[in-house]
Structures are given as structure tokens and as C-alpha cells.
Amino acid sequence: MSAAHRVLVVGAGGLGSPLLRLLATSGVEHITVIDDDIVDESNLHRQTLYCDDDVGKSKIECAERVVRELSPGLSVRAVEGRFVPGTAMDLLSDHTMVVEGADNLATKFLVADAAGLAGIPAIQAGAVRWAGWAFCALPDSACLRCLFEDIPRGQIETCAEAGVVGPVVGVLGGLEAALAYRLLRGDRPAGELWHYDALKGALRKTFVRRRGDCPLCAGQIQDLRMERYTAACAA
């Protein structure tokens, strides 16, 4: 694998926990991780980076500590805050890949748009209750907007509202790491969409094609205007 990769990880929760553990020992040059939450006791069943002693502490500080323990020589930067339009492009500017594990759809679309504008791969995932998905977008492949079109405000429950089973986010975070590993070794999992259903014990792969009316792929999105992502930026 190439060690020249610099990876931005958005979110250090249920998806970010297994992802960060695996990326820490992948041989990448650098990891930046961003999150603004604190560790809560209710997180521990699914956010496996943390333990009882971390409850009440800054999630990003605990995540940085664990990553450094796993790989002492790794370059790590911890950013306490949210991935928002005003700073998104600066955060991406010196990274070769972004992997997203946010718990809301607005941030997922913001990551997809920012990665598209920056011309770097984006690996994304989502999980609710017993099922979820993982997706890889390359600069010349289908993007998240080809898959979901736009933020379905008020129409789809996220894990924040509906909850999620701990092992499900473990599997999806692992799938994100697997897609990242494949990129690191030079593979092209372009447009791959993985579906996981824990109740059925089913994992399947499909491919997403570019939509002709996708505003991101067609170049209609040229900037990250705040109003597109209001839900991601609300206090």
C-alpha cells in the first residue's frame, strides 16, 4: 500500500470507531479526524474507541489518544468541531481521501459535494436500526447525489432519531475501511454500493451509475452555500 495518502475522517462515533482503528494500522501517512461531541455512556455499546473512563471527555481527544497508541509513528491531527461549509475545503485541501461517518444526512451531502469539488475520493456510509450501506465515489464516478439526489429533509430517519444496533455500525465501518484499503493499494471501487442487513444476514454489492441530471457531476454545484446544508450547521 502507498504510504503517501492523507486521510480525513469525518466523525469519530459508531462508524468512525472501527474505521479509525483499522486506518491507524493501514500504513497511511496522516489521519485528520474531526468531531465535536463528548463521550456518553449510551455511546459505549457501538463506539468501540471508548471505554467507561472516557465518559464525559472530549470524543476527539480520546480518539486521537487511541489512534496514537495503535500507531505511535503516525501523523495525527484532531479537530474539535463540525465539518461545515465555511471550513470544508480548507480541511480537504491537503488530503487525498475523505471517509465519512456522520450521523446526519446534511453532513453526508456536504462531504460528498466538498470531495467532488476537491477532486478526491469519498467513502461514505449510513446505518439505521438493523441495516445500512457503504459507498465509494471517485472523482470520475457516480457520487452520493447520483444515489440519493438531495437531502430528504423530514422524510428519512437517521440513527440519531431511530437508533442503530451496535454490530451494524461495526460492519459498515469495517466496509468503509475495506474500501479505503482498496484505494490505498491502487484498486478502483468506483461507484460500489454495499448493502448490509443484519436481520437477514445479507451483504450484497451493487453499482451506482452517474445520473445525467446530477448537479454535482454536471458541474452545477460550484460552491458550498450554507443554505444547502442548514441541518448540518445548526447549533
Who has greater pLDDT, 162 or 89? 89
Query: What percent of the chain shows pLDDT beyond 90?
Result: 83
In the CATH hierarchy, which top-level class contains the domain 6-233? alpha beta
Q: What is the pTM of this model?
A: 0.92
Cell readout for 31 is: 489521519
| Residue 53: all three cell numbers together | 473512563
What is the structure's pLDDT at 157?
54
Does 146 participate in catalysis according to the annotation? no
Contact present, 159 and 107 (Cβ < 8 Å) = no
Cell numbers given for 121: 475520493
Q: In angstroms, how far is CA 93 from the centroid of its own chain?
A: 17
Residue 176: its H or E element: helix 166-184
Tell me which of 62, 143, 159, 217 is the catalytic residue: 159
Read off the pLDDT band of 152 (50, 70, 90).
Answer: confident
pLDDT over threshold 80, residue 232: no
What value does the mean pLDDT take over residues 25-38?
96
DSSP state of 169: H
Has residue 2 got a pLDDT over 80? no
Q: Which of the two residues, 2 and 181, has the higher pLDDT score? A: 181
| pLDDT tens for each residue of 90-132 | 999 999 999 999 988 899 999 999 999 999 999 999 998 899 9
